[in-house]
Chain A
Amino acid sequence: MKITREEVQHVAKLARLDLSEDDVDRMTGQLDSILSYVAKLDELDTQGVPVTTHTQNVVNAFREDEVRPSLDRDRSLQNGPDQNGEAFVVPRVIS
């Protein structure tokens, strides 16, 4: 096995996803077959090969540091599932 039920549960916790017992069973099987497949990368010797994280050689796309209008508060809040006209409302963080 490439991945265990416990590892799937741990990763789900990191990703902030609740999985039912059935979900964990199914995902463990599917992730196991996917991870077994991607293990074929181990056939390649990549020692000393640089990584590619981006295909274009753009380094630091700067703009002038000028004050300019941004999204106003009403529009920023318009999709908030819970908001009071001034801020997004969330469940109490510190009790």
Chain B
Amino acid sequence: MELSALTVHEALDLLDSGETTSVALTEAVLNRIDQVEPKVQAYLALDREGALRQAEEADSQRKNGQGGSLCGVPLAIKDVLCTTTMPTTCGSRMLENFVAPYDATTVLKLNDAGSVLLGKLAMDEFAMGSTSENCAFSTPHNPWKLGYVAGGSSGGSAAAVAADECFATLGSDTGGSIRQPASLCGTVGMKPTYGRVSRYGLVAFASSLDQVGPLTKDVRDCALMMNAISGHDPLDSTSIKVDVPDFTASLTDGLGGVKVGIPQEYFGQGLDPEVEKSVREGITMLQEAGAEIVEVNLPHTDYCVAVYYLIAPAEASSNLARFDGVRYGFRDKEADSLIEMYNRSRSQGFGEEVKRRILIGTYALSSGYYDAFYKKASQVRTLIKDDFAKAFAQCDLMVSPVCPTPSWKMGEKADDPLAMYLSDILTLSANLAGIPGMSVPCGFSSNGLPIGMQLQATHFNEEVLLKAAYNLEQRAGVVGKKPVIA
């Protein structure tokens, strides 16, 4: 087996036993990138020299008996997290030349754990999109079928992990942006509880919904990454002071005493029959592992898309007001008045989808419309949150599909924003309610595209997600299956 095909925990085992080095792992993954990257197109920036230098440092740390929990493991991150060693573009012309003056807390944590940072991965501009086609620089392909979308907005992250172009990665999830690409590319992805992981240095999209989380090759790697990035951060006033468990301790066989809820509304109209079949088979596997299956209801599911596509653009229109061409980002140098400079810089720097969401958000917050749109959506958000509270009174976690369909052809939904928004229907509500959600591979469609199962639990209960995901993974026979990239 190629070294680049290893999981994080397999790589750590070989490093611990001295059978390989971080330099060997890094060279192997750089070779793999040389082979497949022209087809996959997941990377926006690659730092070969920096990665090899970090790998040498990791090897010498290990020799001295030092080094953190991920010492020597080559990782890559979504280009939405600030890094001082390479640009942070957020997939936007607006930030094409931006090099952050500080590192995101999650980047520092991965660095403290001793990991090697390979580069930055493609994404929809400012994390707005479901296919990564809104990236200004490169659209990643689905490694399972080139010409098909990798999902979004963390499409580059999912594609890179699935194609063995890194051992694991971080993404961000505002309405499904980790879980949906993970599902479409057959990787594990976790959106942690809001407040579990620091948002400091994460370029803001919708601040009450954004959360950083891992995309990995298997469930154990997800737990290891969660161990490395979780915890309260004084630099993020919305991060929560709560104990961080050892997430790998949840990976035990058997689900005796665990109640799994099946939200009926998540199996409704528009669900691809192959996705439904695969997820239902996954539910049977959880049952075989000892879980009790109960039906639950989330009656306001049908309103999630409407709520989300008012609240997220409203917050985005406010967050993206900072891009004024003054302190960073693109500036039109021809303008000769301040207002003209703002207008021209923003109009040329932002892409189509970002402008569309700024317009929706500005409208929803504007005088005369605030009550009808933003306030109304925020009230229905309460009803959605209450739905979850009631459903979780009857079960420990809920399982469903992640995305109503497997991956689709690039360009297929690009001209119809509303159709694209509707594909997010099963993932948005976890962000609206602030709960953790996860995507775990459970099968394949008849034409070989991955299908993921979504798991959701109560606030700060990622452990039960990991436990159920681990049990599914043991039985689904999907882990270790690799795409042939051609």
Contact = CB atoms under 8 A, between A and B. Distances in A.
Interface string A38-76: 101110101001111111101001010000000100011
A8 B327 CA distance: 28
Contact of B338 (A51, A76, A90): A90
A90 B341 contact: yes
B331 A82 contact: yes
Central interface residue in B328, B375, B434, by most chain A CB within 10 Å: B328
Contact of A40 (B303, B329, B336, B337): B303
Interface stretch (B150-158, B159-167, B355-363): B355-363
Nearest to B330: A81
Given A38-B373, A71-B101, A90-B338, A31 B356 contact: yes
Dominant secondary structure at the B interface: helix
Given A12-B359, A61-B237, A76-B101, A82 B333 contact: yes
B234 interface: yes
B359 A93 contact: no
B380 interface: yes
Contact of A81 (B238, B325, B359): B325
A46 B379 contact: yes
Contacts of B377: 38, 41
Nearest to A89: B326
B362 A46 contact: no
A68 to B, nearest CB: 11
B208 A55 contact: yes
Given A34-B418, A46-B380, A79-B327, A56 B305 contact: no
Contacts of B342: 16
A17 B359 contact: yes
Nearest to A51: B378
Contacts of A33: 418
A76 to B, nearest CB: 7
A94 to B, nearest CB: 10
A15 B356 CA distance: 11
A94 B368 CA distance: 32
A58 B195 contact: yes
Contacts of B234: 63
B309 interface: yes
A51 B101 contact: no
A49 B379 contact: yes
A7 to B, nearest CB: 7
A38 B234 CA distance: 37
A61 B195 CA distance: 13
A50 B379 CA distance: 6
Given A34-B417, A56-B238, A79-B327, A51 B381 contact: yes
Contacts of B303: 40-41, 44
A50 B343 CA distance: 37
B309 to A, nearest CB: 6
Nearest to A23: B355
B338 A17 contact: no
B356 A91 contact: no
Contacts of B376: 41-42, 46
A91 B434 CA distance: 42
Nearest to B340: A91
B363 A3 contact: yes
A80 B346 CA distance: 15
Nearest to A12: B359
Contact of B343 (A17, A81, A82): A17
Central interface residue in B317, B340, B344, B378, by most chain A CB within 10 Å: B378
Contact of B382 (A51, A78, A88, A91): A51
B219 interface: no
A40 B301 CA distance: 12
Interface in B303-362: 303, 305-307, 309-310, 317, 321, 324-331, 333, 335-344, 346-347, 350, 355-356, 358-360, 362
B267 interface: no
A35 to B, nearest CB: 8
B266 interface: no
B128 to A, nearest CB: 13
B378 A53 contact: yes
B99 A78 contact: yes
A90 B383 contact: no
Given A15-B358, A41-B310, A55-B432, 19 more contacts: A7-B363, A11-B362, A17-B355, A17-B359, A18-B343, A33-B418, A38-B306, A38-B310, A41-B303, A44-B303, A46-B379, A51-B379, A51-B381, A52-B378, A52-B382, A54-B208, A55-B194, A56-B240, A78-B101
The 4 closest A-B pairs by CB, nearest first: A55-B434, A79-B328, A81-B331, A51-B378
20 contacts: A14-B366, A15-B358, A16-B339, A16-B346, A17-B358, A18-B344, A34-B418, A34-B421, A44-B300, A46-B383, A52-B379, A52-B385, A55-B208, A82-B331, A82-B333, A90-B326, A91-B335, A91-B336, A91-B341, A92-B337
